[in-house]
């Protein structure tokens, strides 16, 4: 009897999120016609104002249940964002004890099983919805993330009690470790925690989050985590674009720096750089503003915490720095072009004056 109680000490679910950057944009109305998907309804911690919503709600497509060779079954959902990201959400219903949860966390987080599985699910769907994709990519960037959600923990009634009694296990789960962590590392993990009510808890980490909440309360947090990972994916994409585009500009300037007349050819290169700047800036703003948090301060603070832990802020800063560098390069190139144009105009005026003087003096003779 005691053994049975230990085996069902915990109840909840494990959610594996795998996101792919597949295109510049997904035309959601056309996508819905192709797959018959549904729009994601609002889902937040508590009743929220009407203006707290996705700017363009993602489209959801439910797929058949997926079964692993080891026997675990997963409910499967695809979610399409208008800014070119598709997310695979695999949900496994969990019943067991802390040891079993730690074992699954360590095995699944460190493995590649779910990336391979998710790619096998996404490839045929992307082929099906290709008409709705704007500038589809051949190479997909990807992000994976794990959410360990428990709604029932025997012997625990508050978040404070949970942290006190099971803080070590929670920190191992968030890190994907099967061995106990050092006290310093454990404290570092548990710093990333938040609660709205006394009986709920979020502990966010770089590649996993531990969540103690009701089913309804957890839905909001899972959506925010999914959205935050989609932001990370997009900022990685923008960083890659700028990393590819800036070195050729430096090489171009290196070749053109010998002589003022050589700067005359900078205008086309500057125009191309400006086009890239505008495209990345537009896409960045669309990704950043996709979800409105006004009026729900807890959701906004939760997103801020998740963005910091997952790495969104770091990549956002990288992109902003490279955009600033690109903007300075554009200004420099345009300045060089104007100087070259001014120099050529001055030369032209001087030549015209010389020719007029030549004919003037020739006529007198």
The values of phi and psi at residue 15, to 5°, are -110, 125
As a whole number, mean pLDDT of residues 285-291 equals: 66
Judge whether residue 108 has pLDDT over 60. Answer: yes
More confident residue, 337 or 282: 282
Q: Give, as one character, the DSSP assignment of residue 182.
A: P
DSSP β-bridge partners for residue 313: none
Report the Cα–Cα distance between both ends of the chain, in Å, rounded: 125
* DSSP states along 25-79: EE-HHHHHHHH--EEPPP--SS---TT-SBSSPPEEEEEEEEE-TTS-EEEEEEE
| CA dist., res. 274 & res. 75, Å (int) | 45
pLDDT in tens, 254-273: 665 545 444 555 566 666 66
CB atoms within 10 A of CB 78: 22
User: What mean pLDDT, rounded, does the chain reach?
Assistant: 83
Q: How much is the pLDDT for 104?
A: 95
pLDDT band at 5 (very low <50, low <70, confident <90, very high): very low
SS3 275: helix
Render the burial of 1-27: b for 16+ CB within 10 Å, e for the rest.
eeeeeeeebbebbbbbbbbbbbbebbb
Judge whether residue 107 has pLDDT over 50. Answer: yes
Judge whether residue 196 has pLDDT over 80. Answer: yes
Task: Report pTM.
Answer: 0.81
pLDDT in tens, 17-51: 999 999 989 999 999 989 887 765 555 555 544 44
pLDDT band at 243 (very low <50, low <70, confident <90, very high): confident
Judge whether residue 15 has pLDDT over 60. Answer: yes
- Percent of the chain at pLDDT above 90? 48
Contact call for residues 175 and 181 (beta carbons, < 8 A): yes
Contact call for residues 297 and 304 (beta carbons, < 8 A): no
| CA dist., res. 302 & res. 203, Å (int) | 10
In order of 102, 143, 168, 181, the CA distances from 164 in angstroms are 18, 32, 9, 15
Q: How much is the pLDDT for 277?
A: 72
More confident residue, 287 or 143: 143
Q: How much is the pLDDT for 278?
A: 72
| CA dist., res. 91 & res. 222, Å (int) | 11
C-alpha of 295 from chain center? 23
Judge whether residue 55 has pLDDT over 80. Answer: no
Structure token pair of residue 67: 């079964």
């Amino acid at each position: 009897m005691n053994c049975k109680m230990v085996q069902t000490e915990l109840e909840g679910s494990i959610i594996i999120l795998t996101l792919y950057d597949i295109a510049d944009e997904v035309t959601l109305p056309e996508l819905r016609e192709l797959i018959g998907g549904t729009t994601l309804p609002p889902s937040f911690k508590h009743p929220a104002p009407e203006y707290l919503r996705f700017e363009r709600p993602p489209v959801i497509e439910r797929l058949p249940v997926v079964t692993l060779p080891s026997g675990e079954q997963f409910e499967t959902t695809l979610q399409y964002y208008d800014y070119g990201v598709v997310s695979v959400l695999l949900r496994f219903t969990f019943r067991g004890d802390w040891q079993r949860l730690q074992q699954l966390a360590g095995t699944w987080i460190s493995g590649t099983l779910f990336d391979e599985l998710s790619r096998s699910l996404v490839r045929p769907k992307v082929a099906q919805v290709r008409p709705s994709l704007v500038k589809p990519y051949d190479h997909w960037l990807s992000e994976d993330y794990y959410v360990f959600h428990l709604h029932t923990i025997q012997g625990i009634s508050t978040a404070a009690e949970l942290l006190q009694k099971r803080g070590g296990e929670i920190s191992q789960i968030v890190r994907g470790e099967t061995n106990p962590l050092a006290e310093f590392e454990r404290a570092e993990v548990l710093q990333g925690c938040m609660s709205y009510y006394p009986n709920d808890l979020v502990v966010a980490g770089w590649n996993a989050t531990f969540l103690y909440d009701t089913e309804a309360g957890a839905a909001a947090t899972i959506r925010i985590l999914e959205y935050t990972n989609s932001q990370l994916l997009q900022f990685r994409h923008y960083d890659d674009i700028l990393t590819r585009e800036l070195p050729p500009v430096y090489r171009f300037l290196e070749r053109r720096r010998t002589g003022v007349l050589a700067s005359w050819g900078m205008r086309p290169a500057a125009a191309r750089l400006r086009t890239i700047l505008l495209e990345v800036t537009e896409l960045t703003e669309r990704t950043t503003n996709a979800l409105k948090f006004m009026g729900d301060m807890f959701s906004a603070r939760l997103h801020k915490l998740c963005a910091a832990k997952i790495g969104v802020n770091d990549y956002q800063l990288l992109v902003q720095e490279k955009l600033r560098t690109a903007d300075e390069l554009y200004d420099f190139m345009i300045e060089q072009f104007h100087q070259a144009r001014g120099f050529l105009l001055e030369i032209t005026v001087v030549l015209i004056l010389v020719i007029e003087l030549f004919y003037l003096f020739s006529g007198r003779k």
